[in-house]
Amino acid sequence: MTNYFIDDPKTKASSTLVNFNDHVTAFNASYDTDIMVPNATIGLQVPNFLRYLYKMPGGNNLLETMMQVQVYAKGYYLASNGDTVYRRFSRELHLT
């Protein structure tokens, strides 16, 4: 996730890449065939000293309702060089 409101102190770029995966503690997704609406919950645990990464000016949250999130999982499928590979298992997910 990119936060365009904070300069990156290491690269001096005008935006900061936030490693969302470092703070995910839980993920749950379900799909109800009766009402045809998928539901997902992502649990985050962000230390107080890193909360600024998820904030915009005025104290608004960087994560918004109906924001598109793509979910990847680390699987046991190996790449040609023997490394494990992240595979996308959810095409898109909208936060509510």
**pLDDT value for 62:** 82
Mean pLDDT for each 10-residue chunk of the chain (96 residues)? 84 86 82 73 87 85 76 64 63 52
pTM of the model: 0.59
∠ CA 28-30-34, nearest 5°, is 160
Confidence (pLDDT) at 86: 63
Residue 87 confidence (pLDDT)? 61
